[in-house]
Amino acid sequence: MKRKSDTLAAFKDFKAYMENKTGKKIKRLRKDKGGEYMSADFDTFLKNAGITREHSVRNRPQQMLESSQDWRALTISMGAEGD
């Protein structure tokens, strides 16, 4: 993505891909308040999709490590590591 404004379209693509691949719905989105996910359109999309938003604490490596480990476990279980 070249602009933060491209985030919603990219997330919609990601959501569709992951839900089709796993057969499971995305239930929450954890973010670091970086601004990418803060538009009214993004809020509306998440609300309509039933996705809750979680905010991580900035400069808390433990919380970001948890997200990284969750992501790695998900990609390994899908056989998508290295894709």
- Alpha-carbon separation of residue 46 from 36, 39, 40, 53 (angstroms): 13, 11, 10, 8
Q: State what percent of residues in the chain have pLDDT above 70.
A: 58
Can you tell me the distance from the alpha carbon of 1 to that of 14, in angstroms, rounded to the nearest whole number?
Answer: 13
Q: What is the pLDDT of residue 73?
A: 59
Q: Which of 13-17, 26-30, 57-61 has the lowest mean pLDDT?
A: 57-61
- Mean pLDDT across 21-42: 80
Domain residue ranges in the chain: 4-78
Residue 27 has pLDDT above 50, yes or no: yes
Q: Is 27 helix (H, G, I), strand (E, B) or coil?
A: coil
Q: Where do the DSSP E strands lie in 10-68? A: 28-31, 52-55
- Going by C-beta distance under 8 Å and a sequence separation of 6 or more, which residues neighbour residue 54? 28, 29, 30, 31
